[in-house]
Structure formats: C-alpha cells, structure tokens
C-alpha cells in the first residue's frame, strides 16, 4: 500500500536542444506503490525515468529519490543512490557477452562479498520468481523478447532495490508474455514492497496494475488514481484513455 512520496519531481524543465520535453513538471510517486506513467510516443515518458535514475539531468527543478536530490549529486554520488534503484530497460540492456546467470549475478558479484554458492542461490531464487528455469547458460541473443524482459527484471530486483523503474515493460510482447510481466510486476511489488514506476503506452495493462497514474499529454500532465482519471471531465484525458484519435490535441 502506498505511503508518502518516495520519488518527487518539483518544477522540472527538460529540453533536448530547442525541443522542450517538460516545462515545470511536478509530480510524486508514493512509496511502496505501483505508479504508471502513461502517454503517447514522444511524450517524454522514458525521459522521465532517465531523469529519476540520474542518467540525464534537467535544466531546472529538483528530483528527490529516496531522500536524495539526484539533480545535485555528483556522478560518484549517483552510483551510491542507484544502489537503491533497479531499472528494467525497454530492450532489457542485458550484457550480451554474458550468460543469463552471469547477468543476474553481476550486481551481487560487483557489490557484495557473497560466496559463489550464495550468489547461485540468490540468482536461481530471482529467476524462479520471474518464472524462468534452466536458462543459466543461455546468452541474451538466444532468448525471446519476453524472456529477455524477465531476465532483466530478475537482475533489476536481485539486490532488493527500494525503487524499481520499468521502461515500457510490455512493448514488443505478445498478449500472454505481456500479461505475465504485468502479473510479475504486481507480485513483486506486493511481496517486496518496492516502489514501482512503470512507463507504458499500454492503457489496459497499466490501468489494471496502477495505484496512481501520471498521464503525459501534449496539452499538460494529469495525475490521479485510475478511477479518477477514467472519471475525468477533461476531454484530452478522455480522448487518450478511449484512444479517440480525433479528439486528441496535436503534439507541439
């Protein structure tokens, strides 16, 4: 259940060259809950995740993650902050020269003194949690899209992060794989109480799993519980949620 803000953006403005992505964006993601960022392609959803992760910096504004303002952190400090973060990238971002086992074990080998037997137990526990068996020796190139995302999810949660960031976890997947990832994310959130921020343009999946939704539209940003947004009187919100192309505002 969500309690308090775990990730908070205050008056964030971000632009790539002359193209603004956000102007004075403020929003919060509650601790322990599943929050979903919805919006069309190019609305800045993935940029928002990268800002939270400190992979890029905004022109103005504050981004507080787990009590730390990542916009003021040095690169070294960011490495410390990111130990509390896990990220599921859109393409998985698995190290392609390593096997599945080595990929999932990588954060433990880098940051802990655990012996190999304990690491193996932890890795198999996480792979089991995402429904994968007997894949230890496979390379990322030998996996299906859904398997890549599940391995990446196992790697993202191997060190029990406080915040899990998921960039388009359902994109490019068939309905079954998409549903499996959705169930997994919900289960992991409930079992481990990880603050989960999911970026997606899949309205059905995200509205089912979200406790809080941030909707990024060309005309503005809307925040609320799924039912609140569904009941919204704003024509832009209604148009997006009903996928009514004609009623949507033009992207700037």
Partner 1 sequence: MVAAVRQLGSRTTQVVADLGSMALFLLEVLRDAVTPPWRLRNVVDEVYKLGVLSLLIISVSGLAVGMVLGLQGYNTLVRFGATQSLGAVVGLSLVRELGPVLTALLVTGRAGSATTAEIGTMVATQQLDGLRMMSVDPVDYVVAPRAIGMILVMPLLTALFIVCGIFGGWLVGVRLLGVDSGTYLTSLQSSVDLRDDLVSSLLKAVVFGVLVGWISTYRGYTSAPTSAGVSAATTATVVVASVSVLIFDYLITALWGV
- Residues in contact with partner 1 by CB under 8 A are 50, 53, 55, 75, 78-80, 82-83, 85-87, 89-91, 93-96, 106-107, 110-111, 155
Extended beta strands in 17-151, E state:
19-31, 34-39, 60-65, 68-69, 85-88
What is the smallest separation between the CB atom of 90 and partner 1, expressed in angstroms? 8
Q: Name the residue nearer to partner 1 (CB basis): 87 or 217.
A: 87
Cα-based distances in Å from 219 to 24, 212, 237: 13, 20, 10
Q: Name the residue nearer to partner 1 (CB basis): 163 or 221.
A: 163
Q: How far apart are CA 71 and CA 81, in angstroms?
A: 11
Report the DSSP beta bridge partners of residue 163. Answer: 85, 195
Contact (CB, 8 A) for 214 and 38: yes
Contact (CB, 8 A) for 146 and 177: yes
What is the smallest separation between the CB atom of 93 and partner 1, expressed in angstroms? 3
What is the smallest separation between the CB atom of 206 and partner 1, expressed in angstroms? 22
Q: Which residues contact 115 (CB under 8 A, 6 or more apart)?
A: none
What is the smallest separation between the CB atom of 188 and partner 1, expressed in angstroms? 17
**What is the helix (H) or strand (E) element at residue 8, kind and residue range?**
strand 3-16
Q: List the one residue out of 189, 187, 138, 141 whose CA is nearest residue 31.
A: 189
What is the smallest separation between the CB atom of 159 and partner 1, expressed in angstroms? 8
Q: Name the residue nearer to partner 1 (CB basis): 155 or 212.
A: 155
Q: Name the residue nearer to partner 1 (CB basis): 159 or 201.
A: 159
Q: Name the residue nearer to partner 1 (CB basis): 85 or 215.
A: 85
What is the smallest separation between the CB atom of 95 and partner 1, expressed in angstroms? 6
SS3 label, residue 61: strand
Q: Name the residue nearer to partner 1 (CB basis): 78 or 138.
A: 78
φ, ψ (nearest 5 deg) of residue 160: 45, 65
């Amino acid at each position: 259940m969500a309690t308090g803000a775990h990730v908070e953006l205050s008056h964030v403005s971000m632009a790539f060259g002359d193209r603004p992505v956000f102007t004075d964006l403020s929003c919060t993601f509650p601790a322990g809950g599943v929050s979903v960022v919805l919006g069309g392609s190019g609305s800045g959803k993935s940029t928002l995740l990268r800002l939270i992760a400190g992979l890029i910096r905004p022109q103005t504004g504050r981004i507080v993650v787990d009590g730390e303002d990542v916009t003021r952190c040095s690169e070294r400090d960011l490495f410390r902050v990111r130990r509390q973060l896990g990220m599921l990238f859109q393409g998985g971002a698995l190290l392609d020269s390593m096997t599945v086992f080595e990929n999932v074990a990588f954060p433990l080998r880098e940051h802990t003194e655990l012996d190999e037997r304990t690491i193996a137990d932890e890795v198999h526990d996480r792979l089991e949690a995402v429904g994968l068996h007997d894949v230890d020796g496979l390379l990322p190139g030998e996996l299906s899209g859904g398997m890549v995302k599940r391995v990446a999810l196992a790697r993202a949660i191997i060190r029990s992060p406080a915040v899990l960031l998921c960039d388009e976890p359902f994109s490019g997947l068939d309905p079954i794989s998409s549903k499996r990832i959705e169930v997994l994310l919900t289960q992991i959130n409930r079992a481990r109480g990880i603050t989960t921020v999911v970026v997606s343009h899949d309205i059905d999946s995200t509205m089912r799993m979200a406790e809080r939704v941030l909707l990024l539209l060309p005309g503005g940003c809307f925040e609320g519980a799924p039912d609140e947004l569904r009941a919204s009187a704003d024509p832009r919100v209604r148009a997006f949620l009903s996928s009514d192309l004609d009623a949507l505002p033009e992207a700037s």
